[in-house]
Amino acid sequence: MTKFSDLNLNPKVLQAIEDAGYQTPTPIQAGAIPPALEGRDVLGIAQTGTGKTAGFVLPMITLLARGRARARMPRSLVLCPTRELAAQVAENFDTYTKHMKLTKALLIGGVSFKEQDQLIDKGVDVLIATPGRLLDHFERGKLLLTGVQIMVVDEADRMLDMGFIPDIERIFSLTPFTRQTLFFSATMAPEIERITNTFLSAPARIEVARQASASETITQGAVMVKPSRRDREASEKRAVLRALIDKEGEACSNAIIFCNRKVDVDIVAKSLKQHGYNAEPIHGDLDQSQRTRTLDGFRDGSIRLLIASDVAARGLDVPSVSHVFNFDVPSHPEDYVHRIGRTGRAGRDGRAFTIVVPKDEKNLDAVEALIQKQIPRVDCPIDLGTPAVEEDRTEKRPSRSRSRKSDKPEKVEQVEQTEVAEAPVARAERPARDERPARDERPAREERPAREERPAREERSANRSRGGDRRSDRDSVVVGMGDHMPEFIALSFDERRTG
């Protein structure tokens, strides 16, 4: 059996590995470290949780043991798709270089530019960054990539999924052609082939597991849920989720609950808190400091349930996650592999459950086609057809009719005051103030033509005699004024003045 001592690593690196409690490399580490130490490009493909991070960190720090970094010119570069994954790589770097004098800088969003600039100015051996923040520093003139000797792209397929292809191509163009390139990923999408053919030179392909395969230590299950009503689908899914957690009992020491949308992450977290569960959300819209605190709390056990978007699905190493719950079936089948890969890590047993409603069945079929096996079906833990299901009011919205009723009297009163006072009359037709007859001199009502002689008036009188609607015909055809329109609005100007 291969041991780390057989891989020609730096003695100080071996000492740090021994201090961390590791003796035997994983298959991806045993396959990737030797060609990387030889200076070859490496394309590593392995399912999540197999130690890909150490597979490139260990040879990288061995190769960088000699030499010294210059200001603003890092000697190596590690690209990560998310802030959390970049921070995790930085932790691994600290673990394995504690007996060496190598420096690092972490360039991620949500952190002050000034602090990062100070680290870059001193010169760093390893630069760990997300693509966006790296290019921000470069465009500000604070960074040069012409001294990069080793470049690592971690979770390469996720980079492509998140739309980082143009950024990665530009970063590659800023680095020397003679660099050593290491690609690591859990899945191998067709787009990755084009990238590797473009930027890797005769890479050593290390594939230690079938692409997009789930670990055999994970017990999977699909809970088929048929909502009683369409408008109750979300609340009943949350009820099923709570029932699954309760059913697992003490075996569910902690769990990650994945949602497809950030807004659902917040709703599910709020619902679980309302029902007495220790839960916190994490997604890309939260501040970096809050995301870090939440993740640290989940790792140290002070937070039991972590509700996450796919920002936490890739590469995060929390070894003791007992359960994973998919509140939604992922729209990309590859994401399913990464989600459930958060449990059952390092040979441990894990359990993963996916809640499936009728509209998600197509996505479930795509997942099963990718992993080439059928996910066992699990009975729904509660009966959604009975009133025993507690109604969840997390998404309660204000009633529309209530607000309209409250506003209506004020609006009507305002219209009556303004419209009567400001009747639209042409200036040319309006007599001068002095020429207007006094009220006593105006013709009496009976001297003017009777309104009853008009056809419309006769028809309204006939309707009243038959017990019909008292409103005028003009009232009945006017639309767009809400539930009620004052009758005076439908009158002509003459009728307003004399009515």
| Mean pLDDT, residues 136-165 | 88
Q: Is the distance from CB of 153 to CB of 182 less than 8 angstroms?
A: yes
Q: How confident is the model at residue 314 (pLDDT cuts 50, 70, 90)?
A: low
pLDDT of residue 103: 92
Give the single-character DSSP code of 220: E
Sign of torsion over alpha carbons 407, 408, 409, 414? positive
From CA 298, how far away is CA 321, in angstroms rounded?
9
Flag the least confident range among 153-157, 252-256, 419-423: 419-423
Task: Please give the helix or strand (H or E) that residue 222 lies within, else none.
Answer: strand 218-224
Q: Does residue 486 have a pLDDT over 90?
A: no
pLDDT tens digits along 125-150: 999 999 999 999 999 999 999 999 99
Strands 323-326 and 76-79: unpaired
Q: Is the distance from CB of 144 to CB of 72 less than 8 angstroms?
A: yes
pLDDT of residue 217: 83
From CA 195, how far away is CA 188, in angstroms rounded?
11
- 4-207 and 218-378 in the same fold: yes
Q: How confident is the model at residue 424 (pLDDT cuts 50, 70, 90)?
A: very low
CATH of 218-378, one of 3.30.70.2190, 3.40.50.300, 3.40.1160.10, 3.20.20.70: 3.40.50.300
From CA 187, how far away is CA 389, in angstroms rounded?
40
Q: Which of 144-153, 312-321, 375-384 has the highest mean pLDDT?
A: 144-153
Question: How many residues in total does the chain contain?
Answer: 499
Strands 204-207 and 180-185: unpaired
| Mean pLDDT, residues 4-19 | 92
From CA 81, how far away is CA 254, in angstroms rounded?
25
Q: How confident is the model at residue 477 (pLDDT cuts 50, 70, 90)?
A: low
| Mean pLDDT, residues 214-231 | 89
pLDDT of residue 230: 87
- Domain residue limits, the chain: 4-207, 218-378, 443-498
Give the single-character DSSP code of 109: T
Angle between helices 233-248 and 262-274 (to 10 degrees): 60
CATH code linked to domain 4-207: 3.40.50.300
Q: How many CB atoms lie within 10 A of CB 299?
A: 17
Whole-number average pLDDT of the chain: 80
